[in-house]
Amino acid sequence: MQFQTANGVLTSTPNRLIVAGWTGRNRAAVDHHIKELTAIGVPAPSSVPLFYQCSPSLLTQETSIQVLGAETSGEAEPFLMHVNGKAWLGLASDHTDRALETHSVAASKQVSAKPVADKLWEFESVTDHLDDIKLQSWIKEGSDWVLYQDGALDSILPLQALTTAAGLEEGTAMLCGTLPAIGGVRPAGEFRMTLTDPVLGQSITWSYKASALEIIS
Protein backbone atom coordinates (compact mmCIF):
# COMPACT_ATOMS: atom_id res chain seq x y z
CA MET A 1 0.00 0.00 0.00
CA GLN A 2 1.08 3.57 -0.63
CA PHE A 3 0.43 6.49 1.71
CA GLN A 4 0.91 10.22 1.37
CA THR A 5 2.81 11.70 4.34
CA ALA A 6 4.33 15.08 5.18
CA ASN A 7 7.68 13.64 4.09
CA GLY A 8 6.57 12.08 0.82
CA VAL A 9 5.19 8.70 -0.19
CA LEU A 10 5.43 5.79 2.25
CA THR A 11 5.09 2.30 0.79
CA SER A 12 4.35 -0.47 3.25
CA THR A 13 2.22 -3.57 3.64
CA PRO A 14 1.72 -4.69 7.27
CA ASN A 15 2.41 -8.32 8.16
CA ARG A 16 -0.02 -8.34 11.08
CA LEU A 17 -3.51 -6.82 11.48
CA ILE A 18 -5.35 -6.22 14.74
CA VAL A 19 -8.95 -5.03 14.89
CA ALA A 20 -9.63 -3.61 18.34
CA GLY A 21 -13.16 -3.84 19.66
CA TRP A 22 -15.09 -2.53 22.66
CA THR A 23 -12.73 0.43 23.00
CA GLY A 24 -15.17 3.06 24.22
CA ARG A 25 -13.73 5.22 27.00
CA ASN A 26 -17.05 5.29 28.90
CA ARG A 27 -17.14 1.79 30.39
CA ALA A 28 -20.77 2.07 31.50
CA ALA A 29 -21.80 2.88 27.93
CA VAL A 30 -19.73 -0.05 26.62
CA ASP A 31 -21.40 -2.44 29.07
CA HIS A 32 -24.82 -1.13 28.06
CA HIS A 33 -24.01 -1.67 24.38
CA ILE A 34 -22.82 -5.22 25.10
CA LYS A 35 -26.16 -5.97 26.73
CA GLU A 36 -28.03 -4.51 23.76
CA LEU A 37 -26.10 -6.66 21.31
CA THR A 38 -26.41 -9.76 23.48
CA ALA A 39 -30.17 -9.30 23.38
CA ILE A 40 -30.15 -9.59 19.57
CA GLY A 41 -27.82 -12.56 19.51
CA VAL A 42 -24.32 -11.04 19.28
CA PRO A 43 -21.99 -12.90 21.69
CA ALA A 44 -20.50 -10.83 24.52
CA PRO A 45 -16.73 -10.25 24.37
CA SER A 46 -14.46 -12.34 26.57
CA SER A 47 -12.67 -9.19 27.72
CA VAL A 48 -12.84 -5.42 27.24
CA PRO A 49 -11.17 -4.13 25.15
CA LEU A 50 -10.64 -7.08 22.82
CA PHE A 51 -8.03 -7.41 20.06
CA TYR A 52 -9.26 -9.50 17.15
CA GLN A 53 -6.58 -11.06 14.95
CA CYS A 54 -7.22 -10.67 11.22
CA SER A 55 -5.35 -11.25 8.00
CA PRO A 56 -3.42 -8.17 6.81
CA SER A 57 -4.46 -9.10 3.27
CA LEU A 58 -7.89 -7.66 4.15
CA LEU A 59 -6.45 -4.15 4.07
CA THR A 60 -7.20 -2.42 0.79
CA GLN A 61 -7.00 0.98 -0.82
CA GLU A 62 -9.46 0.04 -3.55
CA THR A 63 -12.51 2.30 -3.70
CA SER A 64 -14.81 -0.63 -4.45
CA ILE A 65 -15.08 -3.87 -2.50
CA GLN A 66 -17.26 -6.96 -2.83
CA VAL A 67 -19.11 -8.50 0.10
CA LEU A 68 -21.27 -11.59 0.52
CA GLY A 69 -24.92 -10.63 0.94
CA ALA A 70 -26.54 -7.33 1.83
CA GLU A 71 -26.07 -7.32 5.62
CA THR A 72 -22.72 -5.53 5.83
CA SER A 73 -21.74 -2.04 6.91
CA GLY A 74 -18.67 0.11 7.49
CA GLU A 75 -17.31 1.71 10.66
CA ALA A 76 -14.88 4.63 10.58
CA GLU A 77 -11.90 4.01 12.87
CA PRO A 78 -8.51 5.53 13.63
CA PHE A 79 -5.84 3.39 11.97
CA LEU A 80 -2.40 2.92 13.51
CA MET A 81 0.58 1.42 11.74
CA HIS A 82 4.16 0.90 12.91
CA VAL A 83 6.61 1.26 10.03
CA ASN A 84 10.32 2.14 9.86
CA GLY A 85 10.51 2.54 13.62
CA LYS A 86 7.66 5.05 13.71
CA ALA A 87 3.97 4.96 14.55
CA TRP A 88 1.61 6.50 12.02
CA LEU A 89 -2.04 7.54 12.33
CA GLY A 90 -4.56 7.20 9.52
CA LEU A 91 -8.14 6.26 8.81
CA ALA A 92 -9.82 2.95 7.96
CA SER A 93 -13.20 1.26 7.90
CA ASP A 94 -13.90 -1.94 9.79
CA HIS A 95 -16.38 -3.22 7.22
CA THR A 96 -18.27 -6.02 8.98
CA ASP A 97 -20.79 -8.74 8.12
CA ARG A 98 -23.64 -8.03 10.56
CA ALA A 99 -25.46 -11.31 9.95
CA LEU A 100 -22.34 -13.36 10.66
CA GLU A 101 -21.65 -11.19 13.72
CA THR A 102 -24.52 -12.89 15.58
CA HIS A 103 -22.64 -16.20 15.26
CA SER A 104 -19.06 -15.01 15.72
CA VAL A 105 -17.73 -11.47 15.98
CA ALA A 106 -14.22 -12.70 15.17
CA ALA A 107 -15.44 -14.42 11.99
CA SER A 108 -17.43 -11.35 10.96
CA LYS A 109 -14.27 -9.24 11.18
CA GLN A 110 -12.33 -11.65 8.98
CA VAL A 111 -14.69 -11.98 6.01
CA SER A 112 -14.77 -8.38 4.74
CA ALA A 113 -12.11 -6.14 3.26
CA LYS A 114 -10.95 -3.20 5.39
CA PRO A 115 -10.69 -0.02 3.27
CA VAL A 116 -7.79 2.24 4.29
CA ALA A 117 -7.29 5.90 3.34
CA ASP A 118 -4.12 6.77 1.44
CA LYS A 119 -2.78 9.36 3.89
CA LEU A 120 -0.91 9.06 7.19
CA TRP A 121 0.21 11.48 9.92
CA GLU A 122 3.24 10.88 12.11
CA PHE A 123 1.72 9.81 15.41
CA GLU A 124 4.15 11.94 17.42
CA SER A 125 2.90 15.07 15.63
CA VAL A 126 -0.64 14.66 17.01
CA THR A 127 -0.19 12.93 20.37
CA ASP A 128 -0.56 16.16 22.35
CA HIS A 129 -4.07 16.77 20.99
CA LEU A 130 -5.42 13.34 20.05
CA ASP A 131 -8.66 13.85 21.98
CA ASP A 132 -9.46 16.89 19.82
CA ILE A 133 -9.29 14.94 16.55
CA LYS A 134 -12.73 14.42 15.05
CA LEU A 135 -14.02 11.23 13.43
CA GLN A 136 -17.07 11.26 11.13
CA SER A 137 -18.73 9.02 8.59
CA TRP A 138 -21.67 9.16 6.22
CA ILE A 139 -23.70 6.49 4.41
CA LYS A 140 -25.65 6.77 1.17
CA GLU A 141 -29.37 6.22 1.72
CA GLY A 142 -31.29 6.62 -1.51
CA SER A 143 -29.70 9.63 -3.20
CA ASP A 144 -28.69 11.35 0.06
CA TRP A 145 -25.55 11.23 2.16
CA VAL A 146 -26.63 10.77 5.79
CA LEU A 147 -24.40 11.47 8.81
CA TYR A 148 -23.73 8.07 10.37
CA GLN A 149 -21.01 8.69 12.99
CA ASP A 150 -19.88 11.92 14.58
CA GLY A 151 -17.53 12.42 17.52
CA ALA A 152 -13.96 12.88 18.68
CA LEU A 153 -11.22 10.49 19.74
CA ASP A 154 -11.90 11.38 23.38
CA SER A 155 -14.73 8.82 23.11
CA ILE A 156 -12.22 6.05 22.41
CA LEU A 157 -9.64 4.69 24.87
CA PRO A 158 -6.33 6.58 24.56
CA LEU A 159 -4.56 5.29 21.48
CA GLN A 160 -1.24 5.10 23.34
CA ALA A 161 -2.84 2.70 25.83
CA LEU A 162 -4.28 0.58 23.01
CA THR A 163 -0.92 0.30 21.28
CA THR A 164 0.66 -0.94 24.50
CA ALA A 165 -2.13 -3.40 25.28
CA ALA A 166 -2.16 -4.79 21.74
CA GLY A 167 1.62 -5.01 21.41
CA LEU A 168 1.87 -2.77 18.36
CA GLU A 169 5.30 -3.50 16.90
CA GLU A 170 7.13 -3.09 13.62
CA GLY A 171 4.96 -4.25 10.73
CA THR A 172 1.72 -4.23 12.73
CA ALA A 173 -1.43 -2.32 11.80
CA MET A 174 -4.45 -1.80 14.05
CA LEU A 175 -7.97 -0.49 13.66
CA CYS A 176 -8.64 1.15 17.00
CA GLY A 177 -12.39 0.99 17.58
CA THR A 178 -15.24 3.22 16.58
CA LEU A 179 -18.09 5.53 17.56
CA PRO A 180 -21.80 4.73 17.90
CA ALA A 181 -23.89 4.75 14.74
CA ILE A 182 -26.43 7.55 14.59
CA GLY A 183 -29.81 5.87 14.15
CA GLY A 184 -28.36 2.42 14.72
CA VAL A 185 -26.09 0.08 12.77
CA ARG A 186 -27.51 -0.67 9.32
CA PRO A 187 -26.32 -1.85 5.92
CA ALA A 188 -25.11 0.64 3.33
CA GLY A 189 -23.55 0.21 -0.08
CA GLU A 190 -21.65 3.51 -0.07
CA PHE A 191 -19.54 4.83 2.79
CA ARG A 192 -17.57 8.04 3.33
CA MET A 193 -15.34 8.88 6.31
CA THR A 194 -13.16 11.73 7.55
CA LEU A 195 -10.54 12.23 10.27
CA THR A 196 -10.13 15.94 11.03
CA ASP A 197 -7.36 17.57 13.07
CA PRO A 198 -8.60 21.05 14.09
CA VAL A 199 -5.32 21.96 15.76
CA LEU A 200 -3.01 21.44 12.78
CA GLY A 201 -5.72 22.13 10.20
CA GLN A 202 -5.43 18.82 8.37
CA SER A 203 -7.78 16.02 7.40
CA ILE A 204 -7.91 12.54 5.92
CA THR A 205 -10.90 11.53 3.81
CA TRP A 206 -11.82 8.29 2.06
CA SER A 207 -14.91 6.81 0.43
CA TYR A 208 -15.77 3.46 -1.11
CA LYS A 209 -18.60 1.32 -2.44
CA ALA A 210 -19.52 -2.19 -1.29
CA SER A 211 -21.15 -4.41 -3.90
CA ALA A 212 -23.16 -7.35 -2.56
CA LEU A 213 -22.57 -10.77 -4.10
CA GLU A 214 -25.52 -13.13 -4.23
CA ILE A 215 -25.55 -15.81 -1.53
CA ILE A 216 -25.78 -19.22 -3.20
CA SER A 217 -26.90 -22.09 -0.99
**Residue 132, SS3 per DSSP:** helix
Check residue 203 and give its pLDDT.
98
Check residue 31 and give its pLDDT.
87
- Position 28 pLDDT exceeds 80: yes
Containing H/E element for 193? strand 190-197
Q: Which residues contact 29 (CB under 8 A, 6 or more apart)?
A: none
Share of the chain above pLDDT 70, in %: 100
Residues in the chain: 217
Helices and strands: H and E segment counts in the chain = 4, 17
CB 52 within 8 A of CB 21: yes
> Rounded to an integer, what distance in angstroms lies between the CA atom of residue 101 and that of residue 198?
35
- Position 3 pLDDT exceeds 90: yes
pTM of the model: 0.94
Q: What is the pLDDT of residues 45-72, one digit of tens each?
A: 888 999 999 999 999 999 999 999 999 9
**Residue 106, SS3 per DSSP:** helix
The amino acid at 144? D
Q: Mean pLDDT throughout 174-186?
A: 93
Q: Which domains does the chain have, with CATH numbers?
A: 2-213 (3.90.850.10)
- Position 40 pLDDT exceeds 80: no
Q: What mean pLDDT is reported for the chain?
A: 94
> Rounded to an integer, what distance in angstroms lies between the CA atom of residue 174 and that of residue 165?
12
Q: What is the pLDDT of residues 80-137, one digit of tens each?
A: 999 989 999 999 999 999 889 888 888 989 999 999 999 999 999 999 999 999 999 9
Q: What's the pLDDT band for 217 if we cut at 50, 70, 90?
A: confident
Check residue 165 and give its pLDDT.
94
> Rounded to an integer, what distance in angstroms lies between the CA atom of residue 175 and that of residue 116?
10
Check residue 20 and give its pLDDT.
96
